[in-house]
């Protein structure tokens, strides 16, 4: 297992029931991920970490409502309810998540003008988070991903993992999706096309 790592995506209060951008049954991933954490020598977590007034928030666009799409300099952007604001309870990891064994926490979405779904890149698909370099330096080539949400941050991370030359598998039991306008089917197909193993 030395060359393998578990990447746990955004298991934060705002994505769980009662949160600002709650994924249906999002908290049900916690026991599955806790079991995975026990099996892996290397564990990395991602944490959505937005400044207040982030450009991906509908509240930052007068007259806009959550889940609308707008054009940003880097492409189409879904507008979200304010969520995972730095330092808030919503941004903290779910209380049941046994995350203390994580070697690294990658914070993403902290640049005011650009959103970040992937653990590897901002939404311009160019600005790196540094995760790929970290994994390569550690000699890790095989990644298992789980977390929230299947059709956004998990899928984008898994596809980018493949583009960066890593083997990638997604544990579907440890994920839950938003399914915005058929996004679950679309992103599941895109993951398969990219060579991501769905297990």
3-state helix, strand, coil in the chain (%, to 5): 30, 25, 45
The catalytically annotated residue of 108, 115, 151, 160 is 108
Taking phi first (over 0 means left), then psi (-120 to 50 degrees means alpha), and beta for anything else, what does residue 146 get?
beta
The tokens for 59 are: 């509240």
The residue from 48, 153, 160, 175 that is catalytic is 153
10 is annotated as an active-site residue: yes
Concerning whether 175 is annotated as a catalytic residue, the answer is no
Q: How far apart are CA 134 and CA 60, in angstroms?
A: 33
108 has catalytic annotation: yes
Structure tokens at 17: 């029931």
Q: Which token pair is 126?
A: 């160019």
CA dihedral 79→81→85→88, nearest 10 degrees, is -170
Angle between helices 155-163 and 183-194 (to 10 degrees): 20
**43: alpha, beta or left, given left = phi > 0 and alpha = psi -120 to 50?**
beta
Residues noted as catalytic: 10, 108, 153
């Amino acid at each position: 297992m030395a060359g393998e790592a578990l990447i746990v995506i955004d298991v934060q209060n705002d994505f769980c029931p009662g949160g600002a951008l709650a994924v249906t049954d999002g908290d049900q991933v916690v026991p599955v991920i806790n079991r995975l954490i026990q099996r892996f020598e290397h564990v990395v977590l991602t944490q959505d970490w937005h400044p207040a007034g982030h450009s991906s928030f509908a509240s930052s666009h007068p007259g806009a409502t959550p889940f609308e799409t707008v054009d940003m300099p880097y492409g189409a952007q879904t507008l979200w309810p304010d969520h995972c604001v730095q330092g808030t309870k919503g941004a903290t990891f779910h209380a049941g998540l046994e995350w203390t064994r994580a070697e690294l926490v990658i914070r993403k979405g902290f640049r005011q003008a650009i959103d970040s779904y992937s653990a590897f890149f901002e939404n311009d698909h160019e600005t790196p988070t540094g995760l790929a370099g970290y994994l390569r330096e550690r000699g890790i080539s095989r990644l298992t991903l789980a977390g929230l949400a299947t059709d956004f941050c998990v899928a984008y991370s898994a596809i980018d993992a493949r583009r960066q030359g890593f083997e990638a598998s997604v544990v579907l039991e440890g994920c839950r999706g938003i399914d915005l306008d058929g996004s679950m089917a679309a992103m599941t197909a895109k993951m398969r096309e990219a060579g991501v193993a769905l297990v």
